[in-house]
Structure 1
């Protein structure tokens, strides 16, 4: 699967390596081009996953603020709910398309 913004691939990995949580595909950290992400200061804490880190995503000439997010240190109890450790996995939304 691929996460693409303005024709630029931000992340790519086989579907079996991704984790689907609440309708979002989370890409393993090693599959993400981190040079295209920049941390933002947007605060958010999920009641069952923990503190979220948002990122601005740049794809070519397109810049999309808070279009990617991750949980660097999720609550350990969330691993049972998800079925595995998803620390630092990255999900996308807004302008970023996730495709097969």
Structure 2
């Protein structure tokens, strides 16, 4: 699967390496082009997953705010609900399209 922004592949991995949580595909950290992500200061804490890290995504000279996010240190209890450890896995939204 791929996460693509205007023709640029931001992340790519076989589907069996991704994790689907609440309808979002989360990519393993090693599959993400971290050169295109800039940590954001936007705060958010999920009641069952924990503290979220948002990322701005670079699109050439444009930076799209908070188009990716992950959970660096999710609540351990959430691993049971998800079925595995998803620490630092990254998901995308809005303009970043995830396709098979």
Length-normalised TM-score, structure 1 = 0.97
Aligned twin of 2:57: 57
Secondary structure (helix, strand or coil) at the match of 2:77 reads helix
Tell whether the 8 Å contact from 1:6 to 1:59 is kept in structure 2 after alignment. yes
- Unaligned stretches of 5+ in structure 2? none
Superposed counterparts of 1:6-85, under 5 Å: 6-85=6-85
Secondary structure (helix, strand or coil) at the match of 1:3 reads strand
1:85 offset after TM fit, Å? 0.0
Q: How many residues align?
A: 100
Matched, 1:96 2:96: yes
Aligned twin of 1:5: 5
User: What is the Cα-based RMSD across aligned positions, in Å?
Assistant: 0.8
Secondary structure (helix, strand or coil) at the match of 1:81 reads helix
